Amino acid sequence: MQKMIDEIKEKCAALIKNGEASRVIGWEKGELPYDRTPAVFDGEKAVGRLLYDAFCGANISKYLIAASKTGGKVIALLKPCDTYSLNQLLTENRVDRSGVYALGVGCSGMVDVEKIRDKGIKGIKDIEEIDGKLSIKTLYGDRTCDKSEVLLEKCLSCKGEKFAVSDDSVALLEGETAPSPSDRFSAVSRIEKMSPKERFEFWRGELSRCIRCNACRNACPACSCMTCVFDNARSGVSSKASPDAFEENMFHIIRAFHVAGRCTDCGECSRVCPQRIPLHLLNRKFIKDINEFYGEYQAGEQPYQRGPLVDYNVSDRDPGQV
């Protein structure tokens, strides 16, 4: 991994040195061994603090909406899946392409620390990744676990090693590969097979935990409205909290709907949710339906493609028709 970090730093430093770019958006070390905070590294020297490892799950493409418009080119470190988000943002003219230098960084899957905790591994003092295994020092003894068992939800349906958009890239080290994807719609299908009552109870159980912190919305690269309808006092739905179960349903249905056809399935919504609501299952339902009803579509795969909800076919099925 160190080799990869060095290469990233080298490339960034060179780009800043020759004046092509002025700063980098990447990740830096946080307060704990698994804490990685997205950060702006301004200037060649700051690049030294840059870090890249198995804990850089955050998708930084949304920062580019603002960063691409504030003078000078910004180098964005984008994992393959993050490049889909950038493409989508470019398609919607939310990011100024000329302000971004997309530096693809290879990814062999990102770790979800919550999943490590779920395994009962708590009090983590140090984590090291060695050959697909995580060796973890805790306050209560040393533990190991397979990295593949604790990957972020989004990594379980990895989009592969291809960058949808990039100006340059740093590939994975030899021997490392992207996680092999499993069927991303299996959970959706499982819910579809439930009875309406079970489905309703499943979603009530999940959505009732919502605290309306808006992390899903604010982290979502597709949610890029200047003022969200749920923040607009005149919309009549800016309730801020959910005094009734209905509000939770409405917020999440509408949020998923507003990104339907634009959602690249980057999984940020579920990753950031402090209540661990599987929000991606709402988005994936839309993706699955779009694929079934209107043909396979992957948002962000190509720049400037026409999304399925701003398009039509005269022979489309009628609503409600199975």
Partner 1 sequence: MLKITLDKISELLSEINKTHCVYAPVERSGEVCFDKWSEGEKVRLDVLKTSKSAKGVFFPQTEDIARFRSKGKELEISQAKTEGGPFVIFGVRACDVKSFEILDSVFLSDPVDSFYKARRENALIVAIACSKPEETCFCKTFSIDPAGPSGDVEGYTANGALYFEPRTEKGKNFCASIARLLEEGDEGAVRAEKEKIRGIMADLPFSSLTTKGWGKDEGNRKFNSEKWKELSDACIGCGACTFTCPTCQCYDVRDFDNGREVIRYRCWDSCMYNDFTMMAHGTPRKTRVERFRQRFMHKLCYHPENHGGVFSCVGCGRCIEKCPMSINIVKVMRAIGGEEI
Partner 2 sequence: MQVKEDFKPTIVAFCCNWCSYAGADLAGSSRLSYPANVKIIRVPCSCRVNPLFILRAFQRGADGVIICGCHPGDCHYISGNYYTRRRMALLISMLEYLGVEKGRVRVEWVSAAEGAKFASVMESFAKTICDLGENVKLGDLRCKK
- List of residues contacting partner 2 (CB under 8 A): 188, 191-192, 194, 196-203, 229, 235-237, 243-247, 249-250, 253-254, 256-257, 260, 282, 285-286, 289-290, 293-294, 308-314, 316-321
Burial 213-224 (b: 16+ CB within 10 A, else e): ebbbbebbbbbb
Residues 147-176 that bind partner 1 (CB under 8 A): none
Q: Work out how close the CB of 69 gets to partner 2 at its nearest, in angstroms, rounded to a whole number.
A: 29
Q: Work out how close the CB of 289 gets to partner 2 at its nearest, in angstroms, rounded to a whole number.
A: 5
Residue 163: which residues within 8 A CB-CB, separation 6 or more?
A: 78, 80, 83, 102, 104, 169
Residue 110: which residues within 8 A CB-CB, separation 6 or more?
A: 54, 55, 56, 57, 79, 151, 152, 154, 155
Strands (E), the chain: 23-29, 36-42, 50-51, 74-78, 100-105, 124-130, 133-138, 141-146, 168-170
Residues 207-236 that bind partner 1 (CB under 8 A): 208-209, 211-215, 217-219, 231, 233
Q: Work out how close the CB of 201 gets to partner 1 at its nearest, in angstroms, rounded to a whole number.
A: 10
Q: Work out how close the CB of 201 gets to partner 2 at its nearest, in angstroms, rounded to a whole number.
A: 7
Q: Using CB distances below 5 to 8 A depending on partner kind, what does residue 274 bind out of partner 2, partner 1, none?
A: partner 1
Rounded to whole angstroms, the Cα distance separating 190 from 155 reads: 20
Site residues (CB under 8 A) for partner 1? 30-32, 35-40, 58, 62-63, 114, 122-125, 138-140, 205-206, 208-209, 211-215, 217-219, 231, 233, 239-243, 268, 271-272, 274-276
